[in-house]
Amino acid sequence: MPHPPGGAEGPGRSRPGPGRPTRRQVLRGGMIGAGALALGASALGCGAPLSTGSDATRVRFWSLFQGGDGARVQTMLSDVHKQAPGLRVEPTTLAWGPPYYTKLAMASVGGRAPETAIMHMSRLPGYAPGGLLEPFDLDLLAEFQVTPDDFVPDLWRRGRYDGHSYAVPLDTHPFIAFYDTAMADEAGLLDSSGALRAFESDEDFIAASHELARASGANGVAFGHVNDDAQGWRLFWNLYRQTGADMRLPEGGPAEFDRDAALRAYTFLAGLFDGEHSAADLDYQTALAAFSDGRAGMLFTGEWELPYLAEAVENLGAAPFPTVFEEPGSYADSHSFVLPRQSASDPERVRAAHRFVALMVRNSLTWGKAGHVPAYVPVADSDAYRALEPQSDYAAAGETPVLDPEAWFAGAGSKFQSDMSETVRTALSGSGPEAAVEQLDRALASWVTRPNPSKGDM
């Protein structure tokens, strides 16, 4: 897919895009997916401004990064301050999930939005069309050494709407396979370089998982999905897209999906997690514990678990999600920078926000050390990043990201993901793969007929 050309939306110029949504519209549905909760509290934590000089330009920055990721963001902010002391960055950390996206939507509507914020790329279809975001000025970004050509084409395209760019990716955070290298070696699953070998088919992978089960004495593959709102969907969507099938969810319907491809994915999962070689009913924490304690040879989860697993597993290996069907691909999302809609455009702050975003992606090696795959190709291709292990072993997952379908109700933290995850539970511990396909059909039909809150009455 070709890179889009540079844009002409400059600071202080009239910005294209839909009209501003009303407070009533946001309160009716939130633009942030059905079932979201309103956030009564303000920030959970605020960092001190990185510059306090009277001539500094203020850039308010909202994110949802806490714990280890929050600490790494602070390191990146310190680097930005050293490189641009004229920016007065005011970081604010909010609670992850629906509360964060509700707060962001309300701030854009109420004229209290920050200059920039983090958004999962998968949530963009619920925000850009509704007028909650400003487009980036690609000429300004280029001035600060960031261009569309610096990103994986498919990822950059997902940040586009109506001919303009609304998101600059910081990373891709893919769903991958962690494995115990000693167990994989015993099971005969390593290639001549010591990496996880390629698999010829879904049957080949299931046979390999049986060998891993023998090596571990318990589970071949650990996967925690019970009582989890997203894991089941991540794994199903990953496998479904590997068949080459697509899914279209137009507003008003009908939903279009490949029933045979869905059945293949559910049937593979039922065969893999058969309760004998790999447990079918693990929750997230139990799956993590099974792998870290040596009771499973492999773990399906996101790369965000790398910091914990690097400490807990002596022989840790990692790889992009195995290609078990026809096409490679790893479920992924992207933490991306967006520009929330402002009540009044200030060219100086617009320029400062673009400079801040550019500096953050250019300093994303720190982010890569946490396990995330830097979206900025000059960093991802750098010797410093390639020297990181096991990050470099699964970095290719960032080249074939499988993001959520482009629908206003889909994306990270959405009720849609929770409903889709229920179909995996049906396939594994309920009525089986055929029933899961029927459940998927009903759920998709329900979602596409729900009214988009961004298009309600003014």
Q: Is residue 108 part of a domain?
A: yes
User: What is the distance of C-alpha 277 from the center of its chain?
Assistant: 30
Q: Is residue 6 part of a domain?
A: no
Q: Is residue 151 part of a domain?
A: yes
Distance CA 177, CA 304 (A): 12
Report pLDDT for 56. 79
Report pLDDT for 98. 81
* Domain final position from 357, 374, 402: 402
Are 204 and 298 in a shared domain?
Answer: yes
Q: Within 13 Å and on the Cβ side, how many CA atoms surround 367?
A: 26
Residue type, 249: L
Question: What pTM, to 2 d.p., does this model score?
Answer: 0.87
Q: Is residue 62 part of a domain?
A: yes
Report pLDDT for 457. 43
Residues 430 and 422: beta-carbon distance below 8 Å: no
Are 242 and 267 in a shared domain?
Answer: yes
Are 179 and 271 in a shared domain?
Answer: yes
Report pLDDT for 455. 65
Q: Is residue 2 part of a domain?
A: no
Q: For residue 438, give its domain range.
A: 173-332+414-455
Are 316 and 354 in a shared domain?
Answer: no
Report pLDDT for 430. 82
Q: Is residue 16 part of a domain?
A: no
* Domain final position from 367, 382, 402: 402
Report pLDDT for 97. 80
Q: Which CATH number fits the domain that encloses residue 161?
A: 3.40.190.10
Q: Is residue 279 part of a domain?
A: yes
Residues 383 and 377: beta-carbon distance below 8 Å: no
Report pLDDT for 2. 32
Ranges of the chain with pLDDT below 70: 1-55, 454-458
Report pLDDT for 20. 43
Q: Which two tokens stand for residue 261?
A: 């491809």
Are 322 and 206 in a shared domain?
Answer: yes
Number of structural domains the chain divides into: 2
Are 321 and 247 in a shared domain?
Answer: yes
Which three-class secondary structure state does DSSP give residue 327? coil
Which three-class secondary structure state does DSSP give residue 49? coil
Are 215 and 319 in a shared domain?
Answer: yes
Residue type, 441: D
Report pLDDT for 55. 58
Residues 410 and 373: beta-carbon distance below 8 Å: no
Q: Is residue 444 part of a domain?
A: yes
Distance CA 148, CA 130 (A): 24
pLDDT digits (tens, 9 = 90+) for 75-111: 999 999 999 999 999 999 998 888 899 899 999 988 8
Are 68 and 182 in a shared domain?
Answer: no
Are 222 and 96 in a shared domain?
Answer: no
213-252 burial string, b = 16+ CB within 10 Å, else e?
Answer: bebbebbbbbbbbbebbbbbbbbbbbbbbbbebebebeee
Are 351 and 395 in a shared domain?
Answer: yes
| DSSP structural state of residue 188 | T
| DSSP structural state of residue 439 | H
Report pLDDT for 43. 36
Alpha-helical regions (H) of 293-432: 306-312, 347-362, 365-369, 377-380, 383-386, 391-394, 415-429
